[in-house]
Amino acid sequence: MVKNLVSIEGVRDNQLSGFGLVTGLAGKGDSADSPALKKVLTNFFSKHQLAVSPDELKSKNCAVVLITADIPPFVRSGDRILAYISSLGDAKSLEGGVLLQSPLYGADNVMYAVAQGIVESTVESPNRTVAHLARGAMVERSIPASYHDGSVLHLTLNQPDFSTAFDVMTSLKEALPEWQVRIADAGALTLQVPDNFEGNIEDNLVLIENTLVKPPKNSRIVVNPRTGVVVVGADAGIGSVGVAYKGIKIEVNRPGGGADTETEAFMLNTAVRAEELVQMLQDLGLKAEGIIEILIAVDRAGALYGDLIVM
């Protein structure tokens, strides 16, 4: 579908950030002599009409933190969004603490959300000084999404490609014959609303998003040496190449077929699909680490027909 290949220009997330104070860290917070912590605590007490001298503050139960969040389009006041917290000082851990009420601002220096609540560890990070709010931040103000001016609608391809842009244009012309659809460049299309159009653009956006498009060619290979993950696009190919790897030899289209380990040459005499090569290597008993090493070497040799992405 079109919605899986493009995004509507003007409909996007916006980044928010702010500073805050996490309390209740049971001795795992910033150092008691931290100037930043003392200043934040002094301002906090002053805000609550308590006069406390910075010299009187010796707490190790608090940490000064940076708060970041992405606010999606079309959210309303009262909605909650995911917010991440990271230590700015020398705190040992943020787990189990409580973030005091902290405003989050956009690039325009306007407050759009407020963060407060229990801090939980973040599974994606083994670092205990990076965490997230259990219930997220609360949106105080929505950001208007401006995605059309009544006459022109812009679509941005998630992966710029002229062939994909052409396929999307062709499909949209069939679905919306009265609209003028043009390719602006490899990464964008423009849709001109008909002069006599009296309908609702939002209603047509549903039709646009759900228009079927033939799947684009996928010539990418994504590998992760740390986890051993190998994902191969169906259209990725391997050209003629020879690589030495631990005594393994593979020859394509040789009499008898198969592979042997008598020499140290790894040979491909004709182009094959990358997934076929990966399958050959798996049949030979190579582990993911070895397969990834070979794919990287083939790419550096200029024999990989596709994009290799190393995570």
Using CA atoms, how far apart are residues 115 and 133, in angstroms rounded to an integer? 8
Q: What is the arithmetic mean of pLDDT over 153-175? A: 85
Mean pLDDT of the chain: 80
**pLDDT for 137:** 92
**pLDDT for 296:** 83
Using CA atoms, how far apart are residues 239 and 270, in angstroms rounded to an integer? 6
**pLDDT for 187:** 87
Relative orientation angle of helices 162-175 and 201-209, to the nearest 10 degrees: 120
> pLDDT tens digits, residue range 108-149?
999 999 999 999 887 666 678 888 998 899 999 887 777 666
In sequence order, the β-bridge partners of residue 82 are none
Q: What is the arithmetic mean of pLDDT over 183-201? A: 80
- Report domain extents, the chain: 14-139, 152-209, 220-310
Residue 304, C-beta contacts closer than 8 angstroms, at least 6 positions apart: 221, 236, 237, 238, 239, 274, 295, 298
Which pair of tokens denotes residue 161? 């490609």
Q: How confident is the model at residue 252 (pLDDT cuts 50, 70, 90)?
A: very low
Q: What is the arithmetic mean of pLDDT over 48-59? A: 68
Q: How confident is the model at residue 261 (pLDDT cuts 50, 70, 90)?
A: very low
